[in-house]
Amino acid sequence: MHKESTMKTYLLTGLLLTVSPWVLADIYKYVDENGRVTYSNHPLKGAKRVVASPNSRGINYGAPRAASNPSPANFPKVDRSTQQNRDQSRQRILQNELESEERLLVEARRNLKEAEANKNDPKRDEKIKNLTTEIRVHEKNIEALNTELSKLK
């Protein structure tokens, strides 16, 4: 029961945080002596604030993020050369994954043709269905990898 209550609390808090730009009041959580949980926009005695309204946190949602949340002075910075090396490594990894997916797609298509040609196999329909699904997965992976690679150029 406690685990379920905790999960509900996290889900509700997450939902409230997601819509927090539109929330105009603080949200409080109160647990009574029987363990019942009550959420309210009014602070009850013994309640804990779980979500603060944008106004009480001093957040200006109209301001650009960089202006409202600058990096701390001691935040680690990456020099241009290091970042270029990281980008090149990422591009190599994505390119290798793309090549692998393309090979797997060719193999899956070849296997599908073989399965379609083998009319005597009692599991033919199941194999065709599985291979068709596999082909779709490889095609989607290739599309996603191409999208990621295009963002690097």
What is the CA angle 89-93-97, rounded to 5?
170
Residue 28 covered by a domain: yes
Do 88 and 140 fall within a single domain? yes
Residue 137 covered by a domain: yes
Residue 124 covered by a domain: yes
pLDDT tens for the chain, 153 residues: list them. 455 556 666 666 665 555 545 545 677 777 888 888 777 777 778 878 776 655 555 555 444 455 567 777 778 888 889 988 988 998 999 999 999 999 999 999 999 999 999 999 999 999 999 999 999 999 999 999 999 999 886
A 10 A CB-CB count for 108 gives 20
Do 85 and 56 fall within a single domain? no
* Residue reference for tokens 């957040």: 59
Domain stops at, among 61, 90, 111: 61
Do 9 and 44 fall within a single domain? yes
In 19-79, where does DSSP find H-type helix?
A: 54-57, 65-68
* pLDDT score for 123: 92
Do 92 and 49 fall within a single domain? no
Do 55 and 86 fall within a single domain? no
Residue 108 covered by a domain: yes
Total tally of structural domains belonging to the chain: 2
Do 35 and 89 fall within a single domain? no
Residue 35 covered by a domain: yes
* pLDDT score for 153: 65
3-class DSSP assignment, residue 51: strand
Domain harbouring 86, CATH code: 1.20.58
* pTM to 2 decimal places: 0.50
Residue 46 covered by a domain: yes
Stretch (H or E) spanning 7: helix 2-18
Which tokens hold the place of 103?
């090979």
Q: How far is CA 1 from the centre of its chain?
A: 28
Q: Which domain holds residue 126?
A: 80-152
CA distance 116 to 97: 28
Instruction: Please provide the size of the chain in residues.
Output: 153
